[in-house]
Amino acid sequence: MRLAVVTGASAGIGAATAAAFLADGWRVTSVSRRPCPVPGADSLACDLADPAAVDEAAAALAEAAAAAERVVLVHNASLLRHDAADGTDPEDFARVLQVNLGAPNALNRAILPRLGAGSAVVYVGSTLSEKAVPGAHSYVVTKHAAVGMMRATCQDLAGRGVHTACVCPGFTDTAMLREHVGTDAGTRAAAASLSAFGRLIEPAEIAETIVWAATHPVVNGAVIHANLGQLER
């Protein structure tokens, strides 16, 4: 049995990733507060902002991983706040750190020891994993850190036949993007204009990239930019 564990698969890139793995013959378990809407996917209810809930979910997932021939762990869930370096609320910052880094760390601690050769750990970063914009302080900090966590995971798993990658999407047409930039058509068009193709990325395009990265160990330790060629202005 091949098992794909996808955090935050209740919508957006996560749901598209669950669908892509199912289409490729994998069993899929979503880890999220809300159920995964994709038929055939299993859902494990978990508030990733709650360390105790994450530890409980991690223990259950560790048992499932131990029974699987190959496992792909996709750290997709993330929290995005409007905040700035000179005014980020400590509690909000701690919550973003927990969802974006603490939860992946806890899942890694429980699941990585059970992974067999041919398995993979894929982190979902962002174009903001390697640059910054104003008004997204905690998100930028944690997405930079996700690349470091992926690279550290690569080094620590060397010799075990398990590979890692970090897929960094550009502006993708998801609820998170709409919440961040608003629903104004002009603002969305401005975001779309930042790609060389002049459009937003579809979640399924990122999902296909994640599945490809998860099944091609040659990219071990790599940061994969999936942004349609983002323009710098």
Tell me what the mean pLDDT of segment 3-16 comes to. 97
pTM assigned to the model = 0.94
> What does the pLDDT average to over 8-30?
97
Is there a contact between 23 and 6 (Cβ–Cβ < 8 Å)?
Answer: no
Dihedral Cα 81, 84, 86, 88, nearest 10 deg? 0
Q: Closest Cα partner for 80 from 141, 26, 30?
A: 141
Q: What is the pLDDT averaged over residues 16-39?
A: 98
Is the pLDDT at 146 greater than 80, yes or no?
yes
178: confidence class by pLDDT, cuts 50, 70, 90: low
pLDDT digits (tens, 9 = 90+) for 88-130: 999 999 999 999 999 999 999 999 999 999 999 999 999 999 9
